[in-house]
């Protein structure tokens, strides 16, 4: 039986995707902004059934023999993705309109990608998940190459495409191994088989799990599968970069976590240590390279690699956690992901706005921003310190939950040393990260304007200003009242039952 | 005053400055008069309410948390908006609101460059919230937030309004402005410490869940209760690590040798008001953390670490004093003197006796008002002379008699002259070290006492040396043609209350000790019980 109430958000988004194309056909050139308005209207409408689903008493709604589940976890994440879509449309609006071509197609692609992310939140089998994952990535390749005339934009798209295809192949190979070993694609069934699997098929399981891990590693740009990200992020149009670093990355994370958590939970001893290494490598390498960046978008690209490391930290101790500990790790990562998404969107929005004003995306050109544009400089301060995890901005709670999860591992005696190293690495990295975020703040407030520099007299587009305001308000409110996010993440632990 | 006692009073004390800061954000930058007035009124209300708190406070129950409340905050981790004050936090909270008022009065017509009163006042007001908040927090997460909240305003204060002198960085050999170097150094040191402190808090949280109480909690009182009554061994083998993590967080803030290196740079580079607030309040957050969190929750580890802390404290005293003697910059000398004075506070804490911890609290208050005033005077002097080089100063008493007199008086208080505020902290810390808590190494502490006593002589030495160079003698020829005016109205308004406080505390230390003693006695009693059992 199909539960249309449960499917309504996804169906509305799918419908909106098509309506945007139709609107595009029937509007004249100078009225193409209607496509963006259609997209936003669709997003808003799609959020209504999410609200009613959130308040319904039915609980988890399972469809298609358990392949597709709409539970509180899925609802919360769908809401998050709709928020991301909304903000991304706002960020893109003035940027894409400035280019004056293919506006309708842009929003069509963006919404398709978001639809994939929404499916991802509900996918509970390997095939559905693969389809969702590719639906997220496919449109993203095209969006990355949006500025056709720009060689770097084309390079960005090409790099992302080749890596995307590679990771899809690796991912599929891993899935086929797991399917061979367990003869099921459903996560719940896989977990059941794995917990009772005999030693003979263990090599196949190990290989399968690791291949899937590598596939996701590319998607979330964790070290050592990260090298495409900085080039792609720098070359792609900045609103697209914002989306890649938040929306498509979050979708990858959700897929990874759901899979590890639901399907591969019995074999945490295989993937736990691998995640431990990836987490430390991502945090450290991302941070150290970010220290050397002159271009702000590249800096944020490396910072997003290091954030991927931080997000994996809670799962790195999976091999010592009991069930409650694993639940908590899951909710810590989701909390981190949501807060990171909001503040990173804000940060990229700020980069779009300030780069226009300054006329450059290099740190040293931003000197003295606070003197001629205090409002942008205040926003910069909020987002950078939030990314650095300084209270009272939202980022502190993300880091707090991450540390809480690691501290939990101290109670298990066998993992204490591993946990201590991990916690120490995370703590030191949190300090290093502050250093490069502070560089931007130092440039904006502490340093004088470069001699002979004249800022441009462009005002911030209203849509962009709106996006920046909602992100900034969200960052500050969540910083003071973090339960707004933590309650949502708590739902996600219910996924354990599935 | 039902509403006041039920937590509203403390909440208003903490958050009125934030509200004022938000109002300031909304008014245009050109409205300087209005900005100043709003900030002053807000800080006065906050101070007035903290005076009301003194009268509402029941000194008979000074060992218990009072005037507080506990509201649900982050339910998923059982962190609450739990506030309250006992005899130890009361004087420090009053000190913080008091100094903020004086800082704003002093700022009235002393704006450091680049002139921007609105932004500067907003930072002071945010600092006020963070400082008062740390002293009233009863929940570790809340404490952490307030503890960190002071970083950002101080970072901006140093970075924007700080010293523009060029310095050559060690190792990398790059030339940067002092303010840039000092601000980032200040932030990184503190952030490094507090990352580990947070890990320590989290470990306490999880361990409390495994204790006989069975509930994970961040509540400081509940954790102390577990540590001293319910289940003293609840931390198991993790205890030394947890203590070490907290130690790192607090010791950076105090600062204790060898983690002190941020302090001279930050104090010297900060604008006058920044130095005053740093010295008077921010350093106390670290020592307060030891008294409020480390001692009650980790009594046994505190015992184990006490000798190490005592040794580091004594090194801080001697090192701080010797470093002072090597300074040519007056402000830097005062900055280094803080290292020595905070060494006495830590020595008092390390004895783990009633008298030692009382000494620590009164030492904190005394250092707050004395060194705060010293930084005020040093700032005003460098404002007039445009130099802080002591070799160029001299004969200040002749050029500016009142200013010179205040400097001399405050220096006397700082060196611990009996009858003035500085005396009690040093004297009682040494007495405490003579007879530390049972079980601590007597020889070590008595040696520490002797070295500490030598430290008091060195302290007197460098302060008198400074007075001799700056205040006495004949004025240098270069000042003959310079117009130097003596203290101004706003300066007097800001300083006289501090002078009065120095005398009052010196003559009648019971102002502070009357409040702290029951609370300290309670802590020591709990420690004795926990260690004894």
- What would the pLDDT profile of A134-178 be if each residue is shown by its tens digit? 999 999 998 888 888 888 888 889 999 999 899 999 999 999 999
Structure confidence at residue B471 as a pLDDT band (50, 70, 90)? confident
Looking at the structure of chain B, the number of domains it has is 1
Per-residue pLDDT for B103 more than 50? yes
Q: By the 8 A CB rule, do A232 and A153 touch? A: no
Per-residue pLDDT for A251 more than 90? yes
Structure confidence at residue A105 as a pLDDT band (50, 70, 90)? confident
Residues of A in contact with B199 (CB under 8 A): 403, 406-407, 423, 427
pLDDT for the residue numbered B231: 80
Per-residue pLDDT for A493 more than 60? no
Say yes or no for a CB contact (<8 Å) between A483 and B203: no
Residues of B in contact with A431 (CB under 8 A): 188, 191-192, 195
Tokens of B23: 């109002």
Length of chain B, in residues? 533
Say yes or no for a CB contact (<8 Å) between A486 and B76: yes
Q: ipTM of this complex > 0.90? A: no
User: Across the interface, which of A391, A423, A487 has its CB nearest the CB of B145?
Assistant: A391
Measured between CA atoms, the residue of chain A closest to residue B203 is: A407
Distance from CA of B303 to the nearest CA of A (A): 23
Residues of B in contact with A423 (CB under 8 A): 199
Q: Which of A180, A69, A211 is nearest to A129 (CA)?
A: A69
CA angle B127, B128, B130 (to 5 degrees): 65
| pLDDT (tens digit per residue) in B331-376 | 999 999 999 999 999 999 999 999 999 999 999 999 999 999 999 9
Give the alpha-carbon dihedral of A367, A304, A103, A114, to 10 degrees: -150
User: Across the interface, which of B180, B187, B238 has its CB nearest the CB of A410?
Assistant: B238
Mean pLDDT of chain B: 89
User: Is the preceding peptide bond at A224 cis, omega within 30 degrees of 0?
Assistant: yes
Residue B83 has phi, psi (to 5 degrees) of -125, 165
Q: Give chain B's count of helices (H) and strands (E).
A: 23, 4
User: Across the interface, which of B141, B145, B159 has its CB nearest the CB of A446?
Assistant: B159
Say yes or no for a CB contact (<8 Å) between B199 and A427: yes
| pLDDT (tens digit per residue) in B291-314 | 999 999 998 888 889 999 999 999
pLDDT above 90 covers a percentage of chain A that reads 36
Measured between CA atoms, the residue of chain B closest to residue A408 is: B206
One DSSP character per residue, B458-509 reads: HHHHHHHHHHHHHTSSPPPGGGTTS------HHHHHHHHHHHHHHHHHHH-T
User: Across the interface, which of B74, B183, B205 has its CB nearest the CB of A482?
Assistant: B74
Per-residue pLDDT for A60 more than 90? no
Say yes or no for a CB contact (<8 Å) between B73 and A427: no
pLDDT for the residue numbered A411: 63
Residues of B in contact with A411 (CB under 8 A): 206-207, 210
Distance from CA of A413 to the nearest CA of B (A): 10
DSSP B420: S
pLDDT for the residue numbered A495: 47
Interface test with A, best of B122, B145, B188 (most A CBs within 10 A): B145
Is residue B43 classed exposed, middle or buried when 0-12, 13-18 and 19+ CB atoms within 10 A define those classes? buried
Q: Give chain A's count of helices (H) and strands (E).
A: 20, 2
Average pLDDT over residues B84-109: 92
Cβ burial B465-494 (10 Å sphere, 16+ → b, else e): ebbebbbeeebeeebeeeeeeebeeebeeb
Per-residue pLDDT for B128 more than 90? yes
Say yes or no for a CB contact (<8 Å) between B76 and A446: no
Per-residue pLDDT for B218 more than 80? yes
State the residue range of the domain holding B317. Answer: 2-532
pLDDT above 70 covers a percentage of chain A that reads 96
Domain map of chain A by residue range? 267-498
One DSSP character per residue, B238-264 reads: GHHHHHHHHHHHHHHHTTPTTS-THHH
Average pLDDT over residues B176-204: 88
Say yes or no for a CB contact (<8 Å) between A445 and B206: no
Average pLDDT over residues B382-404: 85
Lowest mean pLDDT among A38-42, B54-58, B200-204, B227-231: B227-231
Interface test with B, best of A287, A329, A405, A446 (most B CBs within 10 A): A446
Task: Count interface pairs A-B at CB distance under 8 A.
Answer: 84
Distance from CA of B206 to the nearest CA of A (A): 6
Say yes or no for a CB contact (<8 Å) between B74 and A486: yes
SS3 A123: strand
Measured between CA atoms, the residue of chain B closest to residue A479 is: B145
Residues of A in contact with B77 (CB under 8 A): 404, 486
- How far is Cα A41 from Cα A111, in angstroms, rounded to an integer? 12
User: Across the interface, which of A391, A407, A487 has its CB nearest the CB of B199?
Assistant: A407
Say yes or no for a CB contact (<8 Å) between A407 and B160: no
Average pLDDT over residues B56-61: 86
User: Across the interface, which of B73, B160, B188 has its CB nearest the CB of A445?
Assistant: B160
Residues of B in contact with A420 (CB under 8 A): 241
Structure confidence at residue A414 as a pLDDT band (50, 70, 90)? low
Tokens of B12: 């208003």
pLDDT for the residue numbered A498: 39
User: Across the interface, which of B156, B191, B199 has its CB nearest the CB of A434?
Assistant: B191
pLDDT for the residue numbered A451: 82
Length of chain A, in residues? 498
Interface test with A, best of B118, B144, B199 (most A CBs within 10 A): B199
Chain A residue set in contact with B, beta carbons under 8 Å: 331, 385, 390-392, 396, 400, 403-404, 406-408, 410-411, 416, 420, 423, 427-428, 430-431, 434-435, 438, 442, 445-447, 481-483, 486-487, 489-490
pLDDT for the residue numbered B241: 87
Per-residue pLDDT for A443 more than 60? yes
Structure confidence at residue A404 as a pLDDT band (50, 70, 90)? confident
pLDDT for the residue numbered A491: 58
Per-residue pLDDT for B533 more than 80? no
Distance from CA of B388 to the nearest CA of A (A): 23
- How far is Cα B280 from Cα A241, in angstroms, rounded to an integer? 46
- How far is Cα B471 from Cα B462, in angstroms, rounded to an integer? 13
Q: By the 8 A CB rule, do B207 and A379 touch? A: no
Say yes or no for a CB contact (<8 Å) between B195 and A391: no
Interface test with B, best of A391, A420, A423, A432 (most B CBs within 10 A): A391
- DSSP H or E segment with residue B135: helix B117-136
Q: By the 8 A CB rule, do A72 and A6 touch? A: no
Say yes or no for a CB contact (<8 Å) between A430 and B191: yes
Measured between CA atoms, the residue of chain A closest to residue B197 is: A427
Q: Which residues contact A18 (CB under 8 A, 6 or more apart)?
A: none
Chain B residue set in contact with A, beta carbons under 8 Å: 73-77, 141, 144-145, 148-149, 151-152, 156, 159-160, 179-180, 183-184, 187-188, 191-192, 195-196, 198-199, 202-203, 205-207, 210, 238, 241
Interface test with B, best of A400, A437, A477, A480 (most B CBs within 10 A): A400
Distance from CA of B370 to the nearest CA of A (A): 31
Average pLDDT over residues B157-185: 85
Structure confidence at residue A496 as a pLDDT band (50, 70, 90)? very low
């Amino acid at each position: 039986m199909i539960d249309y109430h449960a499917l309504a958000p996804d169906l509305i988004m799918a419908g909106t995707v098509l309506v945007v194309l139709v609107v595009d056909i029937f509007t004249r050139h100078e009225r193409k902004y209607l496509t963006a308005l259609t997209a936003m209207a669709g997003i808003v409408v799609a959020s209504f059934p999410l609200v009613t689903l959130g308040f319904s008493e039915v609980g988890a709604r399972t469809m298609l023999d358990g392949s597709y589940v709409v539970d509180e976890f899925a609802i919360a994440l769908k809401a998050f993705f709709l928020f991301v879509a909304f903000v991304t449309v706002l960020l893109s609006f003035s940027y894409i309109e400035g280019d004056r071509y293919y506006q309708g197609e842009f929003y069509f692609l963006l919404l398709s990608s978001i639809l994939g992310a929404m499916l991802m939140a509900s996918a509970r089998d390997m095939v559905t998940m693969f389809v969702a994952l590719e639906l997220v990535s496919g449109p993203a390749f095209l969006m990355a190459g949006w500025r056709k005339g720009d060689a770097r934009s084309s390079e960005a798209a090409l790099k992302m495409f080749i890596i995307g295809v590679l990771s899809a192949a690796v991912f599929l190979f891993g899935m086929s191994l797991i399917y061979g070993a367990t003869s099921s694609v459903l996560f719940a069934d896989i977990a059941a088989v794995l917990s009772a699997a005999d030693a003979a098929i263990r090599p196949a399981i190990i290989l399968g799990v690791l291949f899937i891990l590598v596939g996701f590693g590319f998607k979330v740009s964790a070290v050592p599968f990260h090298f495409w990200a900085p080039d792609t992020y720098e070359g792609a149009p900045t609103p697209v970069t914002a989306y890649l670093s938040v929306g498509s990355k979050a979708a990858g994370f959700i897929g990874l976590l759901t899979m590890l958590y639901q399907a591969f939970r019995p074999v945490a001893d295989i993937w736990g240590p691998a995640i431990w290494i990836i987490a430390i490598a991502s945090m450290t390498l991302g941070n150290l390279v970010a220290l050397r960046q002159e271009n702000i978008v590249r800096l944020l690209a490396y910072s997003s690699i290091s954030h991927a490391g931080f997000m994996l930290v809670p799962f790195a101790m999976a091999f010592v956690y009991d069930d409650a500990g694993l639940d908590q790790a899951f909710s810590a990562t989701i909390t981190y992901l949501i807060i990171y998404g909001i503040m990173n969107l804000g940060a990229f929005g700020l980069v779009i706005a300030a780069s226009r004003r300054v006329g450059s995306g290099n740190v040293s050109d931003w000197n003295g921003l606070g003197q001629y544009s205090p409002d942008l400089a205040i926003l910069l301060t909020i987002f950078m310190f939030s990314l650095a995890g300084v209270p009272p901005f939202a980022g502190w709670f993300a880091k707090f939950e991450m540390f809480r999860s690691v501290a939990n591992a101290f109670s298990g005696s066998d993992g204490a040393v591993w946990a201590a190293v991990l916690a120490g690495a995370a703590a030191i990295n949190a300090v290093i990260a502050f250093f490069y975020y502070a560089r931007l703040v130092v440039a904006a407030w502490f340093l004088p304007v470069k001699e002979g520099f004249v800022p441009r007299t462009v005002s911030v587009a209203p849509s962009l200003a709106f996006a920046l305001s909602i992100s900034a308000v969200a960052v500050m409110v969540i910083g003071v009242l973090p339960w707004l996010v933590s309650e949502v993440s708590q739902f996600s632990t219910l996924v354990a039952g599935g | 005053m039902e509403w006041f006692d039920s937590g509203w009073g403390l909440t208003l004390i903490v958050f009125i400055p934030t509200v004022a800061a938000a109002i300031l954000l909304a008014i245009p930058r050109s409205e300087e008069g209005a900005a100043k007035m709003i900030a002053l009124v807000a800080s006065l209300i906050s101070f007035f309410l903290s005076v009301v708190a003194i009268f509402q406070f029941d000194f008979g129950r000074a060992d218990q948390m009072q005037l507080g409340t506990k509201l649900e905050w982050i339910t998923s981790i059982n962190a609450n908006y739990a506030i309250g004050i006992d005899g130890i936090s009361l004087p420090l909270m009053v000190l913080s609101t008091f100094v903020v008022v004086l800082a704003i009065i002093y700022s009235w017509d002393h704006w450091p460059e680049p002139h921007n009163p609105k932004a500067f006042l907003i930072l002071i007001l945010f600092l006020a919230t963070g400082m008062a908040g740390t002293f009233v927090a009863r929940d570790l997460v809340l404490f952490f937030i307030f503890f960190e909240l002071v970083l950002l305003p101080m970072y901006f204060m140093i970075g924007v309004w700080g010293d523009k002198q060029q310095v050559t960085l060690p190792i990398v050999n790059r030339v940067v402005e002092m303010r840039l170097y000092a601000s980032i150094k200040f932030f990184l040191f503190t952030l490094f410490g507090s990352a580990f402190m947070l890990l320590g808090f989290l470990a306490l949280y999880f361990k409390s869940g495994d204790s006989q109480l069975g509930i994970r909690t961040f509540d400081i009182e509940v954790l102390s209760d577990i540590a001293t009554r319910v289940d003293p061994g609840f931390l198991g083998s993790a205890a030394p690590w947890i203590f070490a993590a907290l130690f790192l967080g607090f010791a950076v803030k105090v600062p204790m040798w060898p983690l002190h290196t941020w302090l001279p740079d930050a104090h010297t580079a900060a604008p006058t008001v920044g130095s005053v607030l740093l010295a008077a309040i921010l350093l106390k957050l670290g020592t307060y953390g030891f008294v409020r969190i480390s001692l009650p929750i980790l009594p046994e580890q505190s015992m184990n670490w006490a000798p190490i802390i005592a040794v580091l404290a004594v090194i801080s005293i001697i090192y701080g004093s010797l470093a002072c003697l090597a300074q040519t910059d007056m402000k830097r000398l005062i900055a280094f003197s803080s290292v020595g004075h905070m060494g006495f506070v830590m020595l008092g804490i390390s004895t783990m006796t009633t008298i030692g911890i009382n000494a620590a609290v009164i030492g904190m208050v005394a250092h707050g008002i004395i060194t705060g005033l010293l930084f005020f005077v040093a700032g005003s002097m460098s404002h007039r002379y445009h130099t802080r080089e002591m070799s160029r100063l001299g004969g200040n008493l002749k050029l500016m008699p009142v200013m010179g007199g205040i400097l001399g008086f405050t220096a006397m208080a700082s060196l611990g002259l009996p009858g003035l505020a500085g005396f009690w902290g040093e004297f009682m810390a040494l007495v405490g070290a003579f007879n530390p808590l049972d079980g601590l190494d007597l020889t070590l502490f008595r040696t520490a006492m002797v070295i500490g006593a030598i430290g008091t002589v060195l302290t007197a030495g460098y302060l008198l040396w400074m007075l001799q160079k700056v205040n006495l003698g004949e004025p240098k020829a270069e000042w003959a043609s310079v117009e130097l005016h003596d203290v101004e109205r706003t300066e007097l308004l800001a300083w006289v209350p501090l002078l009065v406080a120095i005398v009052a505390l010196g003559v009648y230390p019971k102002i502070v000790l009357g409040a702290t003693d029951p609370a300290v006695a309670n802590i020591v009693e709990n420690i004795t019980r926990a260690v004894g059992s």
